Amino acid sequence: MTISMYSMTVPFYAGMLTNLAHVLTKAEAWATERKIDPTVLLNDRLAPDMLTMKRQVQIATDHAKSAAARLGGVENPSFPDTEETFAELHARIAKVRDFVLSVPQAGFDGAEDRNITIKVGPQEMTFPGGQYLQGYSFPNFYFHMTTAYAILRHNGVPLGKGDFFGRG
């Protein structure tokens, strides 16, 4: 009746980051083919008060990185949000993926009950690791990854759900 915190975090996020990179590869190839300035896609948003596509990618990767660090009990590295090109976003995804995969499995022992404290704006939130993963990390990750995908789809990039799920 249980499932391992390690398997829910490390292989899962590593796989989804691969899918995210795949989505960006298709988007860039489409832009190149259509002679569309890639910064149009990188900086588009669905509403004036929503974040840009590149920010969605940065935040999604941050949630993957932070989950692996916090649940695996290692230092959470900070990656500045400086990416301005598809190549730079790819480098960030690869760096985060390498980091996620580097976190030792043993560190996840007891992670489901260990308290995790995070800052959300000015507030601190504390919850057991299991709840953090499912109730905070996953929804945030998917929220931003899906929004990045939705921005690209809205621009006409020929993506399908299979690309999102790694079957594209």
For residue 135, list its beta bridge partners: none
Task: Give the contacts of 94 (CB within 8 A, at least 6 positions apart).
Answer: 21
Contact status: 8 vs a copy of itself (CB under 8 A): yes
CB-wise, 81 or 88, nearer to a copy of itself? 81
Among 32, 110, 115, 126, binds a copy of itself (CB under 8 A): 110
Contact status: 126 vs a copy of itself (CB under 8 A): no
CB-wise, 72 or 99, nearer to a copy of itself? 72
Could you give the string, one character per residue 30-49, with x where binding to a copy of itself holds by CB under 8 A and - elsewhere? ----------------xx--
DSSP 103: S
For residue 124, list its beta bridge partners: 119
Select from 47, 105, 52, 117 the least CA-distant residue to 81.
Answer: 52
Convert 48-61 to b/e letters by CB count within 10 Å (16 or more is b): eeebbbbbbbbbbb
Contact status: 86 vs a copy of itself (CB under 8 A): no
Residue 97 Cβ, how far from a copy of itself at the closest point, in Å?
17
Contact status: 109 vs a copy of itself (CB under 8 A): yes
Q: Confirm if 27 and 149 have CB atoms less than 8 A apart.
A: no
Per CB under 8 A, residues contacting a copy of itself are 1-8, 12, 15-16, 46-47, 50, 108-112, 130, 133-135, 138-139, 142-143, 146-147, 150, 153-154, 156, 161, 164-165
